[in-house]
Amino acid sequence: MEKDTLNTLFETLKGSFDTENPPSGHEKRFLDKLKQSQNVADVKRSTKWKAWAIAASILLLCTLSIGLFNEKPSINERVAEISPEASRTEFYFASLIEEQVKQLKSESTPETQKIITDALVQLKKMEMNYTELEKDLLNGGNSKLILSAMITNFQTRIDLLQDVLDQVETIKNYNEEMSQTAL
Per-residue pLDDT reduced to its tens digit, 86-121: 677 777 888 888 898 898 888 888 888 899 899 999
Look at residue 20 and tell me if it is in a domain: no
**Are 90 and 171 in the same domain?**
yes
Range 77-88 average pLDDT: 68
Q: Is pLDDT of 49 > 90?
A: no
The pTM assigned to this predicted structure is 0.55
Instruction: Please list the alpha-helical segments (H only) found in 70-142.
Output: 75-82, 84-106, 113-138
**Are 65 and 80 in the same domain?**
no
CA–CA distances in Å: residue 22 to residues 15, 17, 37: 18, 14, 22
Q: List % helix, strand, coil for the chain (3-state, nearest 5).
A: 85, 0, 15
- Give the Cα separation of 86 and 89 in Å (integer): 5
Look at residue 119 and tell me if it is in a domain: yes
- Measured at the alpha carbon of residue 118, what is the angle toward residues 124 and 171, in degrees to the nearest 5? 135
**Are 155 and 95 in the same domain?**
yes
For the chain, what is the domain count?
2
**Are 64 and 82 in the same domain?**
no
Considering only CA atoms, which of 89, 86, 97, 92 is closest in space to residue 124? 97
Asked if 147 and 83 touch (Cβ cutoff 8 Å), the reply is yes
Look at residue 154 and tell me if it is in a domain: yes
Look at residue 93 and tell me if it is in a domain: yes
**Are 37 and 95 in the same domain?**
no
Expressed as residue numbers, the domain containing 48 is 33-71
Q: Is pLDDT of 1 > 60?
A: no
Q: Average per-residue pLDDT in the chain?
A: 79
**Are 44 and 87 in the same domain?**
no
